[in-house]
């Protein structure tokens, strides 16, 4: 159980809820033709999914406040491995519930160095994750400041659209916001016929929305995948902001970052990373979120949050997994 804070104490801590996945990252020689063969050069097993990557990223950067994992995993050996890796990272385990009704969610990631990566995902226990898996009262009583939920559009129960016209995720986020917990939501790069509806019917309960260019395109219908045009990305950010996002919409790609906040718009190109220095792009978007969310927790100006997110994403590229590279940086005492 989380220990309640004393009355009037400043809120601190980030809860990371939603997709907890066991990732196997395969570094392969090349992407084969159909029925062809590629060599697996190395394999790395680690936690995956936005909440796990953000939580482990924050711990890797040695933040001083509580980081609370919240998820649903299977009862078998894969679930045991999730718990082992979480404990090894210094995370509390109470919020990682277990079920015998499904196996632990898994993703096999195929990565060609210097190129992009491809994901083969089994939803498993994440398909059963719902509002009952998240104890908002306990989080609020413990003084948690931010609730990160990911990935909207890949959480079957929370993605369900209710007769009242909002998603179950929106209802959960509404309860959190009413308790004084700010909400951050990340989208999944998985297209479906209901993708834009799920997003639009959740936006009014989101304080900060994160999306990459693929996700922003799926949510808005604005073509962003042919080229990372900052004007088109900002157009998509404004569209999502106008849908009800309370504080800011942040869209990121390998070549552009844009942010549409209530009173300011920011767009810039991250510093390029030489291809030979990139070991794997796996988790770079989640590392970016880790950096930004840390800044939000510390009440930094939004531009400082984005700059630290850029630094975290760049560090991530130097490691095999989503968090290896983040161990090389630490959180600054003052906004960058």
pLDDT level of residue 2 (50, 70, 90 thresholds): low
Q: Helices 302-316 & 284-297, crossing angle to 10 degrees?
A: 150
Average pLDDT, the chain: 92
What is the radius of gyration, based on Cα positions, of the chain?
Answer: 19
Rounded Cα distance, 336 and 324, in Å: 22
More confident of the two residues 22 and 318: 22
Residue 38 CB-density burial (10 A; 0-12 exposed, 13-18 middle, 19+ buried): middle
**pLDDT at residue number 4:** 58
pTM of the shown model? 0.90
Judged against a pLDDT cut of 80, whether residue 32 lies above it is answered with yes
**Cα-flanking dihedrals φ and ψ of residue 27, to 5°?**
-90, 115
**Beta-carbon contacts of residue 123 (< 8 Å; ≥ 6 apart):** 105, 154, 156
CA distance readout (Å), 252 to 244, 260, 270:
20, 12, 10
- Asked whether residue 118 carries a pLDDT value surpassing 90, the answer given is no
Of 40 and 119, more confident: 40
CATH code, 14-328: 3.40.1190.20
**328 versus 85: which is more confidently predicted?**
85
User: What does the pLDDT read at residue 191?
Assistant: 84
What confidence tens digit (pLDDT) does each residue in 94-114 have? 999 999 999 999 999 898 877
Is the pLDDT confidence value at 321 over 70?
A: no
Question: Does the pLDDT value for residue 158 go beyond 80?
Answer: yes
The domain limits of the chain are 14-328
Mean pLDDT of all residues in 142-170: 97
Distance CA 299, CA 248 (A): 14
**Phi, psi dihedral angles at 139 (to 5 degrees):** -65, -45
% residues pLDDT > 90 (the chain): 76
Give CA–CA dist 328/314, Å, rounded: 11
Number of Cβ atoms within 10 Å of the Cβ of 179: 14
Output the pLDDT for position 320.
67
What pLDDT shows up at residue 263?
87
* pLDDT tens by residue, 220-276: 999 997 767 899 999 999 999 999 999 999 999 989 999 999 889 999 998 877 777
Give the pLDDT band of residue 37 (cuts 50, 70, 90). very high
Q: Write out the two tokens for 36.
A: 């062809």
pLDDT, residue 1, reads 55
Does residue 140 surpass a pLDDT of 60? yes
- What distance in Å separates the CA atoms of residue 131 and residue 42, rounded to the nearest whole number? 38
Mean pLDDT confidence for 38-50 = 91
Q: Say how many C-beta atoms besides its own lie within 10 A of residue 77's C-beta.
A: 11
pLDDT at 119: 85
Stretch 314-330: mean pLDDT: 76
The pLDDT confidence band at residue 322, using thresholds 50, 70 and 90, is low
Q: What is the pLDDT of residue 9?
A: 66
| Region 28-51 average pLDDT | 92
All residues at 6 or more sequence positions from 124 whose CB lies less than 8 Å from its CB, including other chains: 74, 102, 103, 104, 105, 106
Residue 325: band (very low, low, confident or very high) from pLDDT cuts 50, 70, 90: confident
* pLDDT value, residue 319: 73
């Amino acid at each position: 159980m989380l220990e309640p804070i004393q009355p009037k104490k400043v809120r601190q801590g980030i809860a990371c809820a939603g997709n907890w996945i066991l990732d196997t990252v395969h570094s392969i020689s090349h992407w084969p033709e159909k029925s062809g063969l590629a060599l697996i050069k190395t394999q790395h097993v680690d936690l995956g999914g936005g909440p796990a990557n953000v939580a482990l990223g924050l711990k890797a950067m040695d933040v001083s406040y509580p980081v609370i994992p919240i998820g649903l995993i299977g009862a078998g050996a894969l679930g045991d491995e999730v718990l082992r890796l979480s404990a090894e990272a210094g995370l509390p385990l109470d919020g990682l519930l277990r079920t015998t009704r499904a196996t632990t969610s898994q993703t096999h990631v195929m990565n060609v160095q210097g190129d992009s990566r491809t994901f083969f995902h089994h939803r498993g226990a994440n398909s059963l994750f719902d509002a009952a898996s998240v104890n908002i009262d306990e989080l609020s009583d413990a003084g948690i400041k931010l609730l990160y939920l990911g990935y909207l559009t890949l959480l079957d129960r929370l993605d369900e659209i209710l007769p009242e016209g909002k998603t179950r995720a929106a209802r959960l986020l509404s309860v959190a916001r009413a308790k004084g917990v700010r909400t951050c939501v990340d989208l999944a790069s998985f297209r479906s016929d209901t993708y834009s509806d799920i997003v639009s019917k959740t936006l009014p309960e989101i304080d900060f929305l994160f999306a990459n260019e693929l996700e922003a395109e799926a949510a808005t219908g604005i073509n962003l995948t042919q080229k990372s045009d900052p004007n088109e990305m900002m157009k998509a950010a404004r569209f999502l902001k106008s849908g009800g996002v309370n504080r800011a919409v942040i869209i990121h790609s390998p070549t552009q970052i844009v942010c549409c906040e209530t009173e300011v718009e920011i767009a810039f190109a991250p510093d390029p990373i030489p291809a030979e220095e990139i070991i794997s792009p796996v988790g770079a978007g989640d590392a970016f979120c880790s950096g930004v969310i840390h800044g939000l927790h510390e009440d930094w100006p939004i531009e400082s949050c984005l700059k630290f997110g850029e630094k975290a994403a760049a560090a991530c590229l130097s490691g095999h997994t989503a968090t290896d590279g983040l161990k090389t940086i630490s959180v600054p005492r003052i906004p960058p």
